[in-house]
Amino acid sequence: MEFKLALRVDDLDNVATVFANGITAGTEVEVRDKKGNIDKITVHSDIPYGHKIAVTDIAAGSHIMKYGESIGEAECDIRRGDYVHVHNMKALRGRGDL
């Protein structure tokens, strides 16, 4: 069995970064944190290597938290196991217009 890993860096994070190839809808991913805790999540769609997966349900308008900081805002409700990227979040960092 091939190991599918995602990392959650900070306790405040509601997303984890996927560090595996071949993540497709229905794949079970092991989300690990810095304390060694493991949470298994089944993803709902394909997620490329290095991209984000929701580790909790995130309500529309809520902050997307990564590395303990807000990196964006959910543009719609995002379910645990969803791919989190530009199609469902608005970036709040590095835009230059805020």
Smallest CA-to-CA distance from 24 within 2, 5, 42, 6 is with 42
Q: Is residue 41 in some structural domain?
A: yes
Q: Is residue 73 in some structural domain?
A: yes
Q: How many domains does the chain have?
A: 1
Q: Is residue 71 in some structural domain?
A: yes
Q: How many helices (H) and strands (E) does the chain have?
A: 0, 9
Q: Is residue 97 in some structural domain?
A: no
| Residue 12 to residue 47: CA distance in whole angstroms | 22
CATH code where residue 36 lies = 2.30.130.110
Q: Is residue 98 in some structural domain?
A: no
- Residue 40 to residues 6, 9, 30, Cα–Cα distance (Å): 10, 16, 5
Q: Give the predicted TM-score (pTM) of the model.
A: 0.90
pLDDT tens-digit map of 66-91: 999 999 999 999 999 999 999 999 98
Range of the structural domain that residue 24 is part of: 5-91
Are β-strands 15-18 and 28-33 bridged in parallel, bridged antiparallel, or unpaired?
A: unpaired
pLDDT tens-digit map of 1-14: 577 999 999 999 99
Q: Is residue 96 in some structural domain?
A: no
